[in-house]
Structure 1
Amino acid sequence: MSFDAPAKVLMLAALSEIAAGGALMIAPGMLVLVLLGIERSSMSEALGRFVGIALLALGIACWPARGRAQGASAAYRAMLIYNPLVALYLACLGAIAHVGGVLLWPVVALHVLITLLLVAVRRRTL
């Protein structure tokens, strides 16, 4: 096994984004307070979790793939994680927390549609 510096750096970067994303999804208020010095609020919680989802997807997209075409596979995995999680989170904000504007439900629907398209495309290629 040879030492591949670019792949190791990419893996380190991906791990840091995955860790940050996971932490933001679990404890966004605490992380926003520690990182930015912004007091915990419903807005920091909501935005922190949203950013956490995006960072998790980014980390997964950057994870080095073995034996596959890197670009298409990584981008697919990231989008397959990002879209349903964002749809679910935004739907929970709207239904449970009663937060949202006029575009909340159309955006939820868009992310659900994209998720369904990703799954359909994947099923056809198997």
Structure 2
Amino acid sequence: MKRALTFAAIGEVGTGLTLLVVPSLVGRWLFGEDLTGVALPIARVAGIALIGLGVACWPGTPLLGMLIYSAAVTLYLAYVALAGGMTGILLWPAVAIHLILTALLVQASCGCAKGKDR
């Protein structure tokens, strides 16, 4: 089981990195079409999620996987809002929620390191 989980984690991280860096290439390979417009930031958020999932599936690191996902999606969504000009009604609340989740996950990881598993 450990080998299968490790293999799956590597696959998810690889796919996530590809979606993050070259989302249109993934769209072309999977669907035969380039990703454009709003599909690009959605694909990148999916890539971030797959990276977090891959790290979480790596044996013994679920908290780290969620922390990586939450912190990365916070930064990316804030970047999209500030530099990309795409701002829907829930974009800034999503940034705020992920920022709070990131802070809670950092706090939980510090507690776990001190033997205070929550």
TM-score (norm: length of structure 2): 0.88
> Hey, which bits of structure 1, 4+ residues long, moved more than 3 A?
none
Q: What are structure 1's unaligned runs of at least 5 residues? A: 1-5, 66-73
Paired with 2:107 and 2:22, the residues of 1 have a C-alpha distance of: 33
The reply to whether residue 120 of structure 1 matches residue 115 of structure 2 is no
**What CA distance in whole angstroms lies between the structure 2 residues aligned with 1:120 and 1:13?**
28
Q: What is the distance in 2 between the residues matched to 1:80 and 1:13?
A: 19
- How many residues get paired? 113
CA RMSD of aligned residues (A): 1.2
Do 1:61 and 1:77's aligned partners in 2 also have CA atoms closer than 8 Å?
yes
Structure having the higher Rg: 1
For residues 1-126 of structure 1, the aligned pairs below 5 Å read: 6-65=1-60, 74-125=61-112, 126=114
C-alpha displacement of 1:75: 2.4
Residue 53 of structure 2 contacts residue 66 of structure 2 at CA under 8 Å; is this kept in 1?
no
State how far apart, in whole Å, the 2-side matches of 1:26 and 1:107 are.
22
CA distance in 2, matches of 1:7, 1:75: 14
1:25-84 CA distances to partner (integer Å, 9 max, x unpaired)?
11011111211223231222111101100101111111123xxxxxxxx32111110101
SS of the aligned residue for 2:88 comes to coil
Counterpart of 1:69?
none
Q: Distance in 2 between matches of 1:58 and 1:41?
A: 25
Give me the TM-score of the superposition, normalised by structure 1: 0.83
CA gap of 1:61–1:9, structure 2 versus 1, over 3 A, is same
Gap regions ≥5 residues in structure 2: none
3-state SS, counterpart of residue 100 of structure 1: coil
